[in-house]
Structure 1
Amino acid sequence: MRYYKKILHSIEELPVFDVHSHISIDQPQCRDLSDILFYHFMRRELYSAGLTDDNFLVSDAPFEKRIEEFFKYKPLVENTTTYWCIKKILNDMYQISDGDIHPGNWKDLQQQIIQKGRDFSYPKSILNRMNVQCSLICENHWSQEGLTRNPFLIPLYEDLDLFHFDPTRNLSLLDLIANELGGLPENSDQAQQSIYDFFKKKFQSGIRYFTAFVSSAFHLIKPVSSQINEIYNKKKTGIQLNAEENHILFTWLFYSYLEAHKSIGTPAQFVIGAYWARPGMRYGESYVWNNHQLSLDLVEVFKDFPKVSMSLMFASLSMAQEFTIIARMLPNVSLLGFWWHTLIPNIIEQLISQRIESLPSNKWIAIATDAYSVEWAYGKVSLVLHCLARVLSQKVEEGYFTEKTAIEYARRILYENPKEIYRLEMG
């Protein structure tokens, strides 16, 4: 790919918005080496490779013992995307040649990271290195001190125990308003108004963005006549709902959620296509969860809310074409980044190429790191830019783009689209 290096250099100079991360407002950078090496996907890969108990890596055991376990299994995971990101972080940010951490250099590296972890100026310097203007950070509370110190980190309200549309889970938005009010309102109309009031209150407090999970178990069944009142009253009194009633309840909650977004005029960000956080599952354990009927159900939902901008991030390659075509057909739907099990170079490049060839250029956003620290954001942004440069280089060689139009396209998906869809004005 003779254009790769030139295109990579050019797109690394472009401004970027990261519209989904888990960077801590109070501790944006890593505290020590464990925050880099024992990231949850690395833990899963080490466990898969044979490590008996990955919880040991984040236990109170001496770090020397924990990293000793890491080194035992490191040769078996050095080929993975997760480890590519670790090497990129260590090479570029801590001058570890080729990211080669070993028993002879980890102690000096640990001291470097601990020192940087206490430097309040360090997080912004890392974002500047990536040209990231700001990052939307998932949480349901933020300290004012952290917001003041890190104005480049923007609240993205997330509470996936409650902000989900998954009839297989026990909790829902009803529990959210019950927590807010000390109990459920008298009837479904009052409950719906309480949902609206919650979002209005958050919006007025300065929170502009919200994210939620749409389960592959979701099935669209709209209530008819007074059906929702009857179902709501059963739910309120603790009577178990049957499967159809549960689907109707979650459809009503989904529509109430989107009505709230419509009223405050903010985009609705959704994560889709994953199965995780269930009884018996380990920390970070997750799977791809497909339901091809879901895409058609979502088409109907999205068409019912043409004024709400839907921003979709999914973990399933096999559902990618379905969501790409939805974004191709509907003006209020756009795609977002590469979530969880799609953050693999082979898949990233397939999705980039599919989106280039299928969608108007304003219909997707490239960067949503889902990172828990600025260091991991750096690794993931670097990975996506690497893949983007490879695809664009190939497109230039094929005559699909010129070098100029390739860079213009990259600017749109890295900067212009998130700026427009999320109405971001930083930088």
Structure 2
Amino acid sequence: MVVLLILLIVTVIVFVGGFVREQLLSRKTEKRYGTRTDNSINEKKFKNKKFVSPILTCDYCGSLVNTAKESKCPNCGASYEFDEEWIHRYENEFNYVDDTANKGVHKFDTYGSANNQKTNGSIPKRLAIITFVVLGIFALMGLFDKYVPRMDNKFNEDSKLNEASYENYELVDYQIEGDGVLIDSDDIKLTIKNIYKDSRSYSNSNLFKVEFEVVNNSDKDVKVVAKSTCINDYSDDSFFIYFNENVRKNKTVTFYERVYDVSKSEIKNMIFSSIYVDDMDSESIYDSDEAIEISTTSTINTDYDFTGKALIYSNEYVDIYSTYNKAEDNNKYINYDDDGFKFLIHNKTDYDFEVNDNDLKINNKTLSSTYGLYDEFLPRNTVFETGGVYSYDEEFTDIKNKDIYFSFKFDCLNDPSKSFQTEYLNLHELYWQ
């Protein structure tokens, strides 16, 4: 796309430059010879040059005769009609004027014609040049793509822990349990080495960075992608860690990634729901089949406090709670029409699930579409907080005062026989109880 854009810009510049050049040449011609719309106009312009009457010497008395005023010698009265000087000057002067006019018109025609031929002839030449340039660039692109590393991909180099002057990350006093390996193949090895914490905090969240090491033993430049949506046995519809790093072939790189929105003072575990490696042509080199958990030696309590949350569904696999806390906000600050419903889902099993909304009915009408709960990853023995579940259908208004029924669908990623879906839950009765 970048190359095509450059070609378009070059083409526009060439044609605009050619147009401006033609205009300048045209103005130069007009300035030098006038506009040439009709030959007779230009001939008249040149031939209107005035004949200048000469001053002669009288052949009879030698007196000066101003032929512009006198028809004969003012001294002796002799006529100069047949005076040789008069005849010679008269013929030469008129021949000069007439010749100048003809030459001027001819010069205008010749210059204008040559200029038109030159500018008109330059257009196909420019088109031919552009065509050859475009073909040449596309030919070079094939060689460039094959033999030169792609310039639109920024390759990772070793980074610093504290890159900004205001950062103050230091190594935590607990360690990664085991070897911290996320990928261990013949070509690629991805490892978590350490965890660092900043003394600062913001919005009740602690600041952490995780040190990663990538060893690329392959003969290809690669793209390493990983995402952690669950830390300290808690996940939501966002992520805590995400990186997409380009690593050159036969190279080892160390880098540090921010961990977002951690409410706890330590990190006890991290669950990576997605890890894969592609080459620079998006051909897969490695793709993790299941989530990978990395634990630390931290001893903090990660149990979730459900105080004030209404339990709206429970079975042997999960407990589902309303996030609405009646005791705290009494519905004063929540716009359910815009924000939708939010739920807490506690996975009580050793299985991983994907959660989807199965159906939403308002006043016995099934809505055409719902948003906010689609293929959400729910790891084993963790709590998942949904985003707002809502709809753009016109029925999704004043929802607190309507009959609303909602069902969840749970797909087990480890054992399909454990998959299930809930019955319709009466949110009008359960969500605000």
Identify the TM-score tier after normalising by the shorter chain.
Answer: under 0.3
Using structure 2 for the length normalisation, give the TM-score: 0.20
Greater RCO, CA 8 A, separation 6+: 1
Higher strand proportion (structure 1 or 2): 2
Higher helix share: 1
Point out the structure with max Rg over C-alpha. Answer: 2
